[in-house]
């Protein structure tokens, strides 16, 4: 018989009679199953908080929405743990599409959890996942300048048949559609020559004799195409046009409709909108088999309509100012006394519109450059580049201004940039185009020398442009690495400051940087690669190694003076090189002047995890002298079939981790232990079953805590 508790049950059987009652005492034994006995032993344990050492923080992660309901799960959390961290509060949920922050959930969570006596551990200020990557990527996206050339037709193929180059056309069969050329002078309009395609007999199917016209880029649904050509035939004929994906690769019977040929040259022009049936095609098949005749083709052109336009050379604006606002970001004087800046009244600008900039030189100078107006256009010049300066100018007295080339305002390079500019007492429009020489290359500033004449100069509508040979089309201007660094640094600081502002009163510990190290190259930082999934963003790809330095400094600046700031990493017990990589990175962060208080070791392990590696990881972390926190602790069961024995192995591993934490990490460095989930999920990794019964892992965990 199994070793079970025995319970005696007494049953009284009362038999009713009119005159008397007989009483019989029956006693029998009912065995108590071992599972009940074991569960009762587990249930006899107190709450987990009763077993932890004083000062040790005992934590768990919770689902935000479930916890805020304060149901049974939440009450178990409140009574068994002292620290709590919410899943569902992150950069991705706080930062909105416009970059603003909504911290309502964070504030409510902090208020609720601290209201029941729990401390809050702030999770993942700067992480790789759960980020509003859409917003962050938008802040560093290139600037796209729409095409300036206006809508236009873009040529796809142009066949004039003046050479024997047969690229762009062919027949389906040399017998059914024989190719030749007219004599010179017999093409359309009596000019040049034309292609002749001869179909010698009426075919059972018109497509048995075909001329293929091909172009490079396949059509897309919604695109607009135009077919133009000159055509005639020895006998009147009608040609259907098929859409094909390649010569002979039929897709649809109607592409550009039916084309009629008469015995006289006729100019054809047909526009179509590509449908699903005619998309992904780059070949027009002209069906010639209905009529036995010779067909003559000339000047076949296929065009695609580009609504945004582009293509032609343009003058692209580098910088301009009409002086209607006080924005002086692209101009200044060299000396307020020698070149005093002011503005005219409104209505006194060029052509009596708006206002103009006034630069007053009060005396004739020994050197004309002692009074200067600087105009900066940002992008340094390159040798061979063409620039254009346009502006409106006048002066109270006729004057001539030399223009210097400078690498920055006040940084002289060459005495002649745009030549000498004459100002009269009437508004004059100036338009000067130059080609950049070696002497004027690497410059981004025009210096107007005003010192030769004591007068007031008036400037309006200054613009500097560069000649873009490919212009007209859409322009894509990428941010420089420095600009991306600055932009994202600002975004990081703004986020950290905002989160700290609403939580610092009650949150005294943070995981500032999460999972920085690469799994495959554990001494290097993790990067996003070419394709980054939605919700992921790798700050380090843009801010470099110092991204964590910035994060810790800002968390320290905007948080509380005594806050404990952690860096956290996963899979260190199974990858000791990664553990060393993190330790080295912490040393680097502190060499740059930031302070890291502790290291959180995320321990998502299993019943089969290498125990020696766990010990070695804890020893390595303890040797840093930092606080050591075990976080996200969970023990998975692996792929084996779930059994009570496997549950006991899970319990043993939980206790082993706590025992080794106590043995290898000095008490002063033991910050605390936090589980990834107190309750079972599909992974069956918790301390409670999903029905909220305690598991063997619960009692083992309590025993491990008591041993510290």
Query: Does some domain include residue 612?
Result: no
Does 461 lie in the same domain as 331?
yes
What value does the mean pLDDT take over residues 201-217?
97
Q: What is the C-alpha separation between 515 and 569, in angstroms, rounded? A: 4
Q: What is the C-alpha separation between 621 and 634, in angstroms, rounded? A: 19
Does 575 lie in the same domain as 530?
yes
Q: Contact, 263 vs 198, CB < 8 A?
A: no
Q: Contact, 697 vs 647, CB < 8 A?
A: yes
Q: What is the C-alpha separation between 137 and 140, in angstroms, rounded? A: 5
Q: By C-alpha distance, which of 704, 701, 695 is closest to 41? A: 695
pTM listed for this prediction:
0.61
Does 627 lie in the same domain as 686?
yes
End-to-end CA distance of the chain: 39
Q: Can you give the C-alpha Rg of the chain in angstroms?
A: 41
Does 225 lie in the same domain as 92?
no
Q: What is the C-alpha separation between 167 and 154, in angstroms, rounded? A: 19
**Ranges assigned E (strand) in 380-535:** 386-395, 399-408, 411-414, 421-423, 428-435, 445-449, 455-468, 475-477, 507-514
Does 540 lie in the same domain as 456?
no
Does 286 lie in the same domain as 160?
yes
Q: What is the C-alpha separation between 150 and 162, in angstroms, rounded? A: 32
136-150 pLDDT, tens per residue?
A: 999 999 987 666 666
What value does the mean pLDDT take over residues 566-583?
98
Does 463 lie in the same domain as 581?
no
The CATH number linked to 519 is 3.20.20.80
265: its two tokens: 């040259």
Q: Which of 596, 627, 644 delimits the end of a domain?
A: 596
Question: 114 φ, ψ to 5°?
Answer: -70, -25
Q: Is the confidence at residue 368, as pLDDT, over 60? A: yes
The CATH number linked to 377 is 2.60.120.260
Q: Is the confidence at residue 581, as pLDDT, over 90? A: yes
240: its two tokens: 């259907």
Q: What is the C-alpha separation between 99 and 234, in angstroms, rounded? A: 70
Does 452 lie in the same domain as 358?
yes
Q: By C-alpha distance, which of 465, 461, 402, 467 is closest to 428? A: 461
310-347 pLDDT, tens per residue?
A: 656 778 889 999 999 999 999 999 999 999 999 999 99
Sign of CA dihedral 528, 531, 536, 542: positive
How high is the pLDDT of residue 310? 61
Quickly state the pLDDT bin for 34 (edges 50, 70, 90). low
How high is the pLDDT of residue 299? 97
Q: Contact, 159 vs 300, CB < 8 A?
A: yes
Bigger pLDDT: 106 vs 14: 106
Domain that holds residue 247: 152-306
Q: Tokens 């002749």 — which residue?
A: 196
Query: Does some domain include residue 367?
Result: yes
Q: Tokens 């010179």 — which residue?
A: 184
How high is the pLDDT of residue 149? 60
414-466 pLDDT, tens per residue?
A: 999 999 999 999 999 999 999 999 999 999 999 999 999 999 999 999 999 99
The beta-carbon contacts of 647-653 under 8 Å, at least 24 apart in sequence, are: 647/695, 647/696, 647/697, 648/696, 649/607, 650/607, 650/685, 650/695, 650/696, 650/697, 651/695, 651/696, 651/697, 651/699, 651/700, 651/701, 652/700, 653/605, 653/606, 653/607, 653/609
Is residue 616 exposed (0-12), middle (13-18) or buried (19+ Cβ within 10 Å)?
middle
Quickly state the pLDDT bin for 304 (edges 50, 70, 90). very high
Q: Is the confidence at residue 468, as pLDDT, over 90? A: no
Does 178 lie in the same domain as 87?
no
Query: Does some domain include residue 370?
Result: yes
Number of domains in the chain: 4
What value does the mean pLDDT take over residues 608-620?
98
Q: What is the C-alpha separation between 422 and 392, in angstroms, rounded? A: 11
Q: Buried (b) or exposed (e) across 321-351, using 16+ Cβ within 10 A? A: bbbeeeeeebbbbbeeebbeeebbeeeebbe
How high is the pLDDT of residue 6? 24
Q: Tokens 């065009």 — which residue?
A: 303
Query: Does some domain include residue 51?
Result: yes
Question: How far is Cα of residue 235 from the mean position of the Cα atoms in its chain?
Answer: 62
653-692 pLDDT, tens per residue?
A: 999 999 999 999 999 999 999 999 999 998 899 999 999 9
Query: Does some domain include residue 371?
Result: yes
Does 626 lie in the same domain as 531?
no
Per DSSP, the residues of 278-327 read TTT--EEEEE-TTS-EEEEEEEEEEEEEETTB--S-EEEEEEEE--SSS-
Q: Which of 306, 338, 361 delimits the end of a domain?
A: 306
Per DSSP, the residues of 531-546 read S--TT---THHHHGGG
118-175 pLDDT, tens per residue?
A: 999 999 899 999 999 999 999 999 987 666 666 788 899 999 999 998 999 999 999 9
What value does the mean pLDDT take over residues 542-567?
98
CB atoms within 10 A of CB 201: 12
Does 279 lie in the same domain as 138?
no
Q: Is the confidence at residue 29, as pLDDT, over 60? A: no
Query: Does some domain include residue 704?
Result: yes
21: its two tokens: 């009652």
Distance (Å) of CA 147 to CA 132, 142, 268, 315, 463: 30, 15, 30, 12, 19
What value does the mean pLDDT take over residues 64-88?
95
Query: Does some domain include residue 701?
Result: yes
Q: What is the C-alpha separation between 603 and 621, in angstroms, rounded? A: 13
For the chain, give the percent of residues with pLDDT over 90: 86
Q: Which of 306, 335, 354 delimits the end of a domain?
A: 306
Quickly state the pLDDT bin for 11 (edges 50, 70, 90). very low
Question: 408 φ, ψ to 5°?
Answer: -165, 160
Q: What is the C-alpha separation between 477 and 378, in angstroms, rounded? A: 14
Query: Does some domain include residue 576?
Result: yes
Does 326 lie in the same domain as 297?
no
């Amino acid at each position: 018989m199994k070793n079970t508790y025995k319970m005696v049950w007494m049953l009284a059987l009362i038999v009713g009679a009119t005159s008397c009652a007989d009483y019989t005492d029956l006693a029998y034994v009912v065995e108590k199953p071992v599972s009940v006995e074991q569960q009762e032993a587990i249930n006899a344990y107190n709450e987990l908080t009763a077993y932890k050492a004083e000062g040790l923080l005992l934590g768990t992660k919770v689902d935000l929405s479930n916890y805020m309901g304060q149901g049974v799960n939440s009450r178990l959390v409140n009574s068994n743990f002292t620290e709590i961290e919410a899943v569902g509060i992150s950069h991705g949920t706080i930062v909105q599409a416009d970059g603003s922050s909504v911290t309502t959930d964070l504030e409510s969570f902090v208020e609720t959890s601290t209201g029941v006596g729990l401390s809050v551990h702030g999770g993942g200020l700067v992480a790789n996942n759960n980020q509003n990557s859409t917003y962050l990527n938008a802040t560093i996206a290139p600037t796209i300048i729409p095409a300036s050339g206006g809508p236009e037709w873009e040529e796809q193929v142009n066949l004039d048949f003046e050479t024997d180059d047969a690229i762009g056309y062919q027949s389906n069969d040399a017998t059914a559609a024989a190719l030749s050329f007219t004599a010179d002078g017999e093409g359309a309009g009596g000019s040049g020559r034309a292609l002749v395609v001869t179909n010698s007999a009426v075919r059972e199917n018109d497509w048995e004799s075909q001329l293929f016209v091909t172009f490079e880029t396949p059509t897309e649904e919604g695109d607009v195409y135009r077919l133009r050509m000159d055509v005639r035939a020895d006998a009147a004929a009608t040609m259907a046009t098929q859409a094909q994906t390649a010569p002979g690769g039929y897709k649809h019977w109607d592409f550009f409709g039916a084309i009629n040929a008469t015995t006289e040259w006729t100019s054809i022009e047909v526009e179509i909108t590509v449908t699903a049936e005619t998309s992904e095609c780059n070949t027009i098949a002209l069906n010639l088999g209905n009529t036995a005749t010779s067909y003559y083709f000339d000047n076949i052109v296929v065009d695609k309509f580009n609504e945004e336009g582009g293509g032609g050379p343009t003058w692209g604006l580098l910088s301009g100012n009409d002086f209607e606002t006080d924005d002086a970001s692209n101009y200044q004087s060299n000396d307020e006394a020698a070149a005093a800046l002011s503005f005219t009244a409104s209505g006194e600008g060029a052509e009596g519109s708006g206002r103009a900039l006034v630069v007053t030189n009060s005396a004739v100078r020994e050197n004309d450059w002692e009074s200067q107006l600087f105009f900066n256009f940002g992008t340094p010049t390159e040798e061979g580049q063409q620039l254009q300066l346009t502006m409106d100018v006048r002066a109270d007295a006729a004057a001539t201004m030399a223009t210097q080339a400078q690498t920055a305002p006040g940084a002289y390079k060459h005495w002649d940039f745009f030549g000498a500019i004459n100002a009269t007492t009437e508004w004059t429009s100036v338009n000067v185009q130059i080609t950049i020489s070696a002497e004027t290359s690497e410059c981004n500033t025009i210096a107007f020398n005003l010192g030769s004449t004591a007068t007031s100069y008036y400037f309006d509508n200054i613009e500097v442009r560069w000649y873009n040979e490919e212009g007209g089309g859409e322009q894509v201007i990428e941010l420089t690495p420095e600009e991306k660094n600055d932009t994202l640094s600002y975004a990081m600081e703004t986020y950290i400051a905002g989160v700290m502002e609403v939580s610092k009163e009650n949150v005294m510990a943070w995981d500032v940087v999460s999972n920085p190290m690469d799994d495959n190259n554990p001494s290097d930082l993790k990067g996003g690669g070419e394709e980054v999934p939605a919700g992921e963003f790798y700050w380090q790809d843009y801010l470099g190694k110092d991204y964590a330095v910035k994060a810790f400094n800002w968390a320290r600046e905007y948080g509380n003076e005594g806050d404990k700031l952690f860096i956290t990493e996963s899979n260190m017990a199974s990858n000791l090189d990664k553990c060393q990589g993190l330790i080295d990175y912490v040393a680097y962060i502190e060499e740059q002047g930031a302070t890291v208080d502790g290291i959180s070791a995320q321990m998502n392990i299993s019943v089969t995890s290498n125990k020696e590696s766990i010990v070695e990881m804890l020893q390595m972390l303890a040797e840093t002298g930092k606080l050591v926190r075990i976080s996200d602790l969970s023990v998975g069961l692996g792929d084996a079939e779930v059994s009570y024995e496997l549950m006991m192995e899970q319990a043993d591993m939980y206790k082993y981790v706590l025992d080794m934490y106590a043995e290898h990490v000095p008490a002063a460095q033991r910050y605390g232990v936090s589980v990834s989930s107190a309750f079972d999920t599909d992974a069956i990794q918790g301390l409670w079953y999903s029905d909220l019964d305690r598991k063997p892992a619960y009692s083992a965990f309590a025993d491990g805590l008591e041993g510290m």
